Amino acid sequence: MIRFHPSAQQLRDFVEGTLSPAISLMVSAHCDMCPKCQRFVEIETESLAAQMVSSVSENAFAASDASLQFGDMFSQITQLPQIADGSVETAGVSEYRESFKKPLAPSKSEKLNTIELDGRTFTLPRTLHRYIDKTGNWSSLVGKLWQAPVDLGNQGVANFIFMGGGGSVPEHTHRGTEYTLVIDGEFSDGLSRYDTGDFIFMDGEKTHTPKAEGKDGCLVFSIVDQPLHFTSGLARLLNPFSHLFFR
């Protein structure tokens, strides 16, 4: 059961297209997995589209050359992506909606929507499908941790991280921010317990120790803007090299 979601304001900003590319990616991937947030986005999109159409109409008819201005504005609007009822679709969700409109090309091994690790196959949310071929090789970290870097271009630094059963990330805080989406499985970190689909935000105000307690382990997708800062025991010796583990 999904318990952790983006805030209502983050979802509204996503609809309006004002989130950073990295956070927008995370919100979109969460919405792929969460019917509740999908519906919120749909309602906000319809509301914003209605406001835009109403504003365009009022401004156009208020001008002295109303007919010409309205014609220009209408021409610009009709060039924007539209949703099924003909209302305008905003930039923040156009890419998100497009992922549902375009069918995936058939694949015998279904590698277009999955990643593999040690014989296990994990299905990814639609938003992340395009990054499968931009995912690097898995590398083993401390304990039962595995990491595969994801090339987001200039959108941020991302990794798939797998915690095997009983595996954990050493206690740490954050020099910057970390957004995490649970793709498969569950983990706890001393602050709460997280399940598949949960959207998690961490910053320098919190210290935690993520650990996969289930025997099947846990796969997450994580975006950070600064290296982690380890805070406990021998793990603190890793701080000068933390950019090599979790950039």
Q: What is the pLDDT of residues 120-130, one digit of tens each?
A: 999 999 999 99
Pick the most confident of 41-50, 76-85, 87-96, 169-178.
41-50
Across 43-52, 172-181, 207-216, least confident range: 172-181
pLDDT at position 92 = 54
Q: Give how far Cα 64 sits from Cα of 7, 52, 59, 148, 221, Å.
A: 43, 21, 10, 59, 54
pLDDT at position 58 = 58
Is the pTM of the predicted complex or chain greater than 0.75?
A: no
Question: Strands 178-184, 199-202: parallel, antiparallel or unpaired by DSSP?
Answer: antiparallel
User: Which residue ranges make up each domain of the chain?
Assistant: 8-101, 114-245
3-state secondary structure the chain: CCCCCCCHHHHHHHHHCCCCHHHHHHHHHHHHHCHHHHHHHHHHHHHHHHHHHHHHHHHHHHCCCHHHHHHHHHHHHHCCCECCCCCECCHHHHHHHHHHHCCCCCCCCCCCCEEEECCEEEECCHHHHHHHHHECCCEECCCCEEEEEEECCCCCEEEEEEECCCCECCCEEECCCEEEEEEECCEECCCCEECCCCEEEECCCCCECCECCCCCCEEEEEEECCCEEECCHHHHHHHHHHHHHCC
The second-level CATH assignment, the architecture, of 114-245 is Sandwich (2.60)
pLDDT at position 107 = 46
pLDDT at position 65 = 53
pLDDT at position 61 = 53
| Residue 186 CB contacts under 8 Å (≥ 6 apart), including other chains | 193, 194, 195, 196, 212, 213, 214, 218
